[in-house]
Amino acid sequence: MTEQNNEKGIAETLEIGKEVRPGRRWGRWAAVVLVLAIAAAAAWYFLKPDPKAAATQYKTEQVRRGDLTVIVTATGTLKPTNSVDVGSELSGIVKSVEADYNSRVKVGQVLVRLDTSKLEATITQSKAALESAQAKVLQTRATVTETRAKLAQLKNAREISQGRLSSQAEVDAAEAAFARAQADTASAMAAVSQARAVLEANETDLAKAVIRSPINGIVLVRSVEPGQTVAAAFQSPVLFSLAEDLTRMDLHVNVDEADIGKIREGQKATFTVAAYPNRTFTAQITQARYGSSTTSGVVTYETILKVANPDLALRPGMTATADITVRELKDALLVPGAALRFTPPVVQVEEKTSRGLFFSLFPRPTRPSQGSDNGGAGKGKQRVWVLKDDRPVAVLITTGWTSGSLTEVTSGNLAPGTPLVVDILAGATK
């Protein structure tokens, strides 16, 4: 009974044995057409071209001929060409100070005077010691004369008496006394020399109590005041710092290790300081030192530039930013630096196929667009891109000097006026 009911249900579902009406037949065709339309719409959606990729636009700049100036930028500090720290070898109390900040001084000009009362007393004592030593010399010389006469008398008496009036022992004792008198004279003369040297040293100290300028220059630093006690026990205290001539100064800059190979003596430079933001000063390299310094892992080399400062606008210690001209090229073939940094993006291309909806839903793996590979340029080569049929095509060139924004082209298939791709304006790929 159950099997009969199932067969009857299937027959009713399939409408077996019943007459099919025309309205139902058109409804079935409409359903088939609707399914096909949906399938076609899905296929069109998955297979339609990417409007962004089709609308990709590129920004270009032209190759040109022109002059190129290559510079190296470095920062540093202005310093006097020659500076001297003036100190004191003596300890004592400052009696007077005869120079101030910014004072112009000449060689031999008095800067500081120390109290000399103690030194003068020491000199008086040294003079007395010298006079005593000289008197001792006179005394010993008199003894020499006395012992010489006595020795001569004994020898003469012995010869006349044939040894009966004076014995050999007496003669020997007289000779010894004479020798001692001569030694005492030599010792007294040495004491005189010693006393004279002490006197000269004390007189030298007295002269050093007056501190004078060793150069013609200007006072940068004054570190002493009247009444101050100067202690020179272990090292000479600095009282003044003098700059010899501020109309000529040195600019000490630190050049990065990547740029030091371009630096040569005699190269010209310009620099600015914060005190005069609208003024540019000129300089010239006089020395590029081999000694390096490392700060926070950055290796730099000290380079010295000669600076003229006739109006004394520049001052020691100012921080300067220098642009050193390392190369000047005339009528060179130049490309923009952005063209060397540009690389075309990878474009995903889905092949249009008539294999059906399955292949549109599961396409082949994407592949890069033609000419998108940036490798294989070779050693010493660079890659730039020109547009051909609205697509970037690589051109190999050899580059030379660069200023960052422009780069010299030494060889390659480029002509002035050729547009090079530097950026993408619109239509970035997926």
Query: Which CATH number applies to 71-81+245-328?
Result: 2.40.30.170
Looking at residue 81, what is its pLDDT? Answer: 92
Residues 150/177, Cβ–Cβ less than 8 Å: yes
pLDDT, average across residues 199-222: 92
pLDDT, average across residues 286-297: 94
At 390, the pLDDT band (50, 70, 90 cuts) reads: confident
Cα separation, 308 vs 287, in Å, equals 16
Residue spans of beta strands (DSSP E) within 151-274? 210-212, 217-222, 229-230, 238-243, 248-256, 268-273
From residue 4, alpha-carbon distances to 11, 12, 16, 168 in Å are 11, 12, 15, 180
- Domain 84-111+214-244 matching CATH 2.40.50.100: the answer reads yes
Domain boundaries, the chain: 2-47, 51-67+334-426, 71-81+245-328, 84-111+214-244, 116-208
Looking at residue 425, what is its pLDDT? Answer: 84
- pLDDT tens-digit readout, 249-271: 999 999 999 999 999 999 999 99
Q: What value does the mean pLDDT of the chain take? A: 83
Q: Please check the confidence at residue 52 and state whether its pLDDT lies above 70.
A: no
Q: Could you tell me which of 220, 7, 185 has the C-alpha nearest to residue 99?
A: 220
Residues 93/230, Cβ–Cβ less than 8 Å: yes
- Distance from CA of residue 363 to its chain's centroid? 58
Rg of the chain on CA atoms, in Å: 52
Residue 408 pairs in a beta bridge with 334
Q: Which CATH architecture has domain 51-67+334-426?
A: Beta Barrel (2.40)
Cα separation, 214 vs 84, in Å, equals 8
Looking at residue 241, what is its pLDDT? Answer: 93
Looking at residue 430, what is its pLDDT? Answer: 41
Q: What percent of the chain has pLDDT over 70?
A: 79
- pLDDT tens-digit readout, 115-144: 999 999 999 999 999 999 999 999 999 999
